[in-house]
Structure 1
Amino acid sequence: MSLLSVRDVVAGYGEAQVLQGVSLDVAAGEVVTLVGRNGAGKSTLLRCLMGLHRSMTGRVTFDGRDITRLPPHKRCRLGLGYVPDDRGVYSTLTVEENLTLPPVSGPDAWSLEQVYDAFPVLAQRRRQPGTHLSGGEQQMLSVARVLRMGARLLLADEPTEGLAPILVQQIGEILRTAKQHGVTVLLIEQNIHFASTVADRHYLISQGRVVESLDNAEVERREHELLEYLGI
């Protein structure tokens, strides 16, 4: 059974309809990417899954439970964690304060010791404020924070955007570490090559619909075509 099941989700902003009947499934323990051009509806979909975009129809099921009408805080308690594209780090708080301020919301929450063991750089910088972290370290902190809260499903919006190649590699390690600890991941990613190194499957979204489901072998075979399609 899928951990996350999405059926016929339609959503928009006012008169503009962005999602036009999205359906997809993510199994427990998978890393799955949403790939598509800017404006295809990927970020809107993640916001719908987290309950942050209420103007939607369709059905969202998590671990066999219909969560379509649940508010965000109740979805969080069930084990959904959201890393927005702006990372959401509290810049004036230390790394440790960023990790301990949000409430623990589930039985699968990581302890601080687990976080520091998985992300040694955060242990080294535990007393430093968020403003002193690099972009890659901030992304690491934003992921670690939702794991500390008890996320079983991590929703990440373009975690590698704007990062140098060495930091992109670090983000890959973060996602692989999360998977090794049993966390399921659904992320938006424009970097096709990077996506194929961390994900099990990929959903191609176009004009608010899922048009294809691709495995890594197919992504590799069609990489040039996909790069042209994405305008990269």
Structure 2
Amino acid sequence: MTEPLLRVRDLDAHYGGAQALRHVSLHVTPGEVATLVGRNGAGKTTLLRCVMGLHAATVGEVTLAGRDIGALPAHRRARLGLGHVPDDRGIYAGLSVAEHLAFPHHDRANGWTLERIHDAFPVLADRRRTPAAKLSGGEQQLLALARVLRMGSRVMLCDEPTEGLAPVMVQRVGEVLRQAKRHGVAVLLVEQNLRFAATVADRHYLLDRGRVVETLDNSAVRDRERELLDRLGL
């Protein structure tokens, strides 16, 4: 078995007196996409934020390529290869597409060249001089994904990248995630769209009230789709 690139062990997290995560353990290997699925409030975004260092875990361990990164701030984790695509996309409205993609690589060996970025995201090449605020929602999402790949991130933490997008953009996001997967990037993906998730992911972690209650493969998702949609309230 390939060694995990990202591993989470027995992670707990709180918001004030409320416990958001309970003993969460999971892993993602190079070239693998794993999804986090669950109802709103199940703890999916909190988990991504804890992995990225944007929310403090109470107990537990986060390792990247075998290194314990639990005590590191977010910017140090980013330099080691964690890339975060938040649910609000994290785009700087006043910067152009080209300026977003001009940020220094954290890992020049793994960072995608501008040529590769433009091949994968032709719309970004066409709109490279456009301020990010004038992009459509789908174009902003592609820019957020492209920026992480440009940085050379080895692990992508993606929070609802297809939410609110037109079907053609959902398809494009799927193509980008599959490309990243082929290049050995590990992806931990929060996704409510089960049918989309099954087209890009290898495994699915089902969260309920802050716990991982099941790990499913794609065949189990297909066979139990109606049941799972009911559990997710969809």
Query: TM-score, normalised on structure 1?
Result: 0.97
Question: 1:200, 1:12 → 2: CA distance?
Answer: 29
**Cross-structure match for 2:61:** 59
Q: Deviations over 1:62-110 (max 9, x none)?
A: 101111111111111111000000001111111000111x332123112
Q: How many residue pairs were aligned?
A: 231
Question: Which 4+ stretches in 1 moved above 2 angstroms?
Answer: none
Letter in 2 for 1:218: A
**Cross-structure match for 1:167:** 169
**Cross-structure match for 2:97:** 95
Aligned counterpart for 1:217 among listed residues 216, 219, 234: 219
Question: 1:118, 1:172 → 2: CA distance?
Answer: 12
Tell me, which stretches of 5 or more residues in structure 2 are unaligned? none
Q: Deviations over 1:14-62 (max 9, x none)?
A: 1011001100111111011000000000000000000111242100111
Q: Deviations over 1:174-221 (max 9, x none)?
A: 111211222111110000111001101100000101000000000000
Letter in 2 for 1:103: P
Q: Deviations over 1:148-170 (max 9, x none)?
A: 11101000000011112222111
SS of structure 2 residue aligned to 1:109: coil
Aligned counterpart for 1:140 among listed residues 139, 142, 147: 142
Aligned counterpart for 1:188 among listed residues 184, 187, 190: 190
Aligned counterpart for 1:226 among listed residues 211, 225, 228: 228
Letter in 1 for 2:75: H
Aligned counterpart for 2:123 among listed residues 121, 124, 149: 121
Question: 1:206, 1:34 → 2: CA distance?
Answer: 10
Tell me, which stretches of 5 or more residues in structure 1 are unaligned? none
Task: Provide the identity percentage.
Answer: 64
SS of structure 2 residue aligned to 1:40: coil
Aligned counterpart for 2:32 among listed residues 20, 30, 33: 30
Question: 2:172, 2:60 → 1: CA distance?
Answer: 36
Question: 2:42, 2:161 → 1: CA distance?
Answer: 17
> Could you tell me whether the CA contact under 8 Å between 1:48 and 1:56 is conserved in 2?
no
SS of structure 1 residue aligned to 2:40: coil
> Could you tell me whether the CA contact under 8 Å between 1:111 and 1:148 is conserved in 2?
yes
SS of structure 1 residue aligned to 2:128: coil
> Could you tell me whether the CA contact under 8 Å between 1:136 and 1:170 is conserved in 2?
no
**Cross-structure match for 2:200:** 198
